[in-house]
Amino acid sequence: MSGPICPTTDPVGEDTTVPPRMLHGLAPETLNLHSQTMLTFLYSFLPKPPVSTIARLRCDATAAAAAETADRLSRLPDDILRRVLSCLPAKDGARTTVLSSRWRGLWRSEPLVLVDTHLLSRGDAECRPARAGAVSRAVTDAVSAALKAHPGPFPFVSLTCSFMDATDRRVLARWFQILATKGVDELVFVNRPWPLPGLPLPSSLFSCASLSRLCLGAWVFPDTTALPRGAGFPNLRELVLGCVVMKDKDLEFLLAVSPVLEILAFHGSLASLHARISNQSLRCAQFCLSILEEVAVVNAPSLERLFLWRNWSERGHVGAMSTTVKIGHAPKLRVLGYLEPGVHILQIGSTIIKL
């Protein structure tokens, strides 16, 4: 029986003309200092994939026995072969499908960890293409092919290599439709546009009800006004938003439709934000390098930690104007920081404290 083979078996090439200092992210000359700081901060916060390209796939003993014709590996029980596949990057797992029809069936039956940096020839996140072009487009096409070829589910998907613009709206919609249908547990999705913030995310993001962890970077958050009833993230426990444009009402909606959310982090919010926190399960909230006018903890009975660092008001520059922090109902709050004199105004109930 023949089955579809993921077209990512060959790693995508790299632009060897790009200086090493530009390989991690966008070209330095296109970024102002603040944007570069925010993106660097975001990249450092990305979750590590559960599989790696560093491990060697052949040992000396295997190489010495390469001339043998017997396929000893394929004789192993299915459970062991599935464990082997679960430890392989997507491109290496796809390569096993050429061994035999049995391997094709196993590859399709094992959940797929998809990390687009693993599709590069060196499989290294430090070698992300520095600009839009043939390499980034090849990565985008390879991701589309992998999502289509594999039946899922996808326990971990990390997409950080593509430069997506308005011409990619259909690609985005198709990706989220596939992920919603086949199932995704953890999703890291960072666009690389210039200028920031780039492209609006499709509302089909809210169809991915299986998500437990979501990290979004350099996007415009979808307008939640016209979302169908019942849209939301019933299983989402951790949410990281970096260099994202979001309206106040969309944050309120997001908290309302994430009933088990425990961790919320904003890094480099690109729109002025009045954050109203009302969520029964939230334990930790963090706002860093963001345009933050106010944080109001309205009703957060599980909140234990609230962190603010290097935020600023739209009325001034970094650290120049005050951010108001209002604490309403937060009986478990134990840690509140970092409050700076002359920068923050703290209000607990009806008591106002000017630091």
Residue 295 CA to residue 292 CA, distance in Å, equals 8
Give the closest residue to 120 by CA, choosing from 16, 266, 208.
16
Q: Where are the domains of the chain?
A: 1-37+75-271, 279-289+296-355
CA within 13 Å, CB half, 194: 14
Residue 269 CA to residue 289 CA, distance in Å, equals 7
What average pLDDT does the structure give for the chain? 80
Residue 201 CA to residue 290 CA, distance in Å, equals 20
CB of 288 within 8 A of CB of 321?
Answer: no
- pLDDT average, residue stretch 327-355: 87
Share above pLDDT 90 across residues of the chain, in percent, rounded to a whole number: 41
3-state secondary structure of 101: helix
3-state secondary structure of 116: helix
Q: Is the pLDDT at 215 greater than 50, yes or no?
A: yes
Tokens 């933050």 correspond to: 292
Residue 4 CA to residue 11 CA, distance in Å, equals 18
Give the closest residue to 271 by CA, choosing from 196, 171, 179.
196
The CA–CA distances, whole Å, from 51 to 77, 112, 230, 330 equal 22, 10, 34, 39
Q: How confident is the model at residue 202 (pLDDT cuts 50, 70, 90)?
A: very high
- pLDDT for 330 equals 97
Two tokens, residue 308? 């603010």
- pLDDT average, residue stretch 104-120: 79
Task: Give residue-wise pLDDT tens across range 38-74.
Answer: 777 788 878 888 776 665 545 444 445 555 566 666 6
Task: Give residue-wise pLDDT tens across range 146-198.
Answer: 999 888 899 999 999 888 988 999 999 999 999 999 999 999 999 987 777 77
79 vs 252, which has greater pLDDT? Answer: 252
The CA–CA distances, whole Å, from 199 to 104, 172, 194, 212, 342 equal 37, 10, 10, 24, 36
**CA angle 112–40–37, rounded 5-degree value:** 155
- pLDDT for 29 equals 47
Phi first, then psi, for residue 45 (nearest 5°) are: -95, -5
pTM assigned to the model: 0.80
Phi first, then psi, for residue 315 (nearest 5°) are: -80, -10
Two tokens, residue 153? 């589910």
Q: Is the pLDDT at 304 greater than 90, yes or no?
A: yes
Write the class of the CATH domain 1-37+75-271: alpha beta
- pLDDT for 24 equals 46
